[in-house]
Amino acid sequence: MGASQAFTVTALAAGAVSGNILAGSMFELVGDRPRAIKVWAIQDPGADSTHQGMQMRITYGTVTAVEDGYPLQIATANGVGPNKSDHEVVSFLAHPRDRIVVNLRNAGAGTSTARVLVAHQDF
């Protein structure tokens, strides 16, 4: 099958938590063969460049790949990134029929936007 990628943009109000941002997409469930999964993510700096607050949690099957509260890096400008050389969050081997769950939480004081890229690769 080769490689495939999903790109999502998620804006959350202060204190909000997303559901699985991959829910309902072809990237939520691993098929009948193991897949190498990579995730890159970045958050916009917002109205002021010091705004921080987007956090991430990633699970697959029964495994937690990224603990709740992992802070996302802040982009150099709104709408920039993630790029594969600087913003990799995690890579892992998912088993057949694993569910990939990517949750975001905005622990900051204002609305924040995260951009997440998820790649599935045969090996």
d(CA 37, CA 5): 10
48: DSSP letter: S
Looking from the CA of 76 toward its CB, the CA atoms found within 13 Å total 6
The residue type found at 85 is S
pLDDT at residue 7, as a whole number: 94
pLDDT at residue 122, as a whole number: 86
pLDDT at residue 123, as a whole number: 76
pTM over 0.95: no
Give average pLDDT by consecutive 10-residue segment, the chain, 123 residues.
Answer: 83 93 95 95 74 88 95 89 94 97 92 93 85
The CA-CA-CA angle for residues 68, 73, 75, to 5°, reads 145
- Domains contained in the chain, CATH given: 3-121 (2.60.120.380)
pLDDT at residue 50, as a whole number: 54
